[in-house]
Amino acid sequence: MFTACELGVFDLLLESEGPLSSDAIAERLGASTNGMEQLLNACVGLKLLGVEIRSEGGKDVICRTPDPLSSLFLKICLIFAFFHHRGTLPHNCHAFPKIMANGSEIISAISLKGASGLAQECISLHPNSTATIFDLPTVEQMAKEHYVPTEERRITFHEGDFLKDPVPEADLYILARALHLWEDDKCLQLLEKVHKTCKPGGGVLVVESFLNEDKTGFPGAQLSSMMLVQTEGKERTPTEYNKLLTAAGFREIQVKKTGKLYDAILGRK
């Protein structure tokens, strides 16, 4: 809300004659196109803005509209900002910057546990299968020490950087919460590498938080997309992931919406 207020997003929409696309809003406010799209998605998720799909130049364009409650939220936001600058907010409102200061360690811990848990779930469901966790050396070491039992022989590790190093051959590659960290070109680079190495008849399973085609969805996914502006990634729609998989050479694309935070899309070689 602070960022949208400071940039003048609400003022622009309230003064406009109709809904505006994210490109138009970014251009008028002199902001980053990608960053503005993620900011608007977050505002839609928080019910600060509405969404309307309009046809422009023969294609559908997602436009944002002012929500009837926008003016109320604006007032609340300004009051909150007033107290924030006076330093009279409760102490726990200042915890987030401290968390972000140690963000790399926190993210590494979460990623490690997730990959290890996913590998253990796979071999549990398919007892005759094996799983390989591919990650950076420091991450692999932590996983070995804390999350994978030493006696478990069906889970192995392969150290490397998937954007630079070759990936090991496999029947199925699971990219869980990986592609959303990167811009389209790097996602395509990784998917093409996976497609090249994947055994014939195999495939790739992408696990992410999908946005709806109009960029609405779970607020958590939209807020996560906004935070990813600090890197270079974003949350995507099934259609956007479909295009990346298809461009990398995968076929028979299947989308599974779970109705929860994480969804999946499968592509076959």
Residue 123 burial class via C-beta count within 10 angstroms: exposed 0-12, middle 13-18, buried 19 and up? middle
Smallest CA-to-CA distance from 243 within 149, 179, 171 is with 179
Cβ count near 209 (within 10 Å): 19
SS3 label, residue 54: strand
C-alpha torsion angle, residues 34, 206, 201, 166 (rounded to 10): 70
Catalytic residue among 126, 158, 180, 195: 180
Spatial distance between the Cα atoms of 173 and 175, rounded to a whole number of angstroms: 6
Q: Is 180 a catalytic residue?
A: yes
Half-sphere exposure at residue 178, Cβ-oriented, CA atoms within 13 angstroms: 22
Spatial distance between the Cα atoms of 236 and 232, rounded to a whole number of angstroms: 13
Give me the active site residues, please. 180
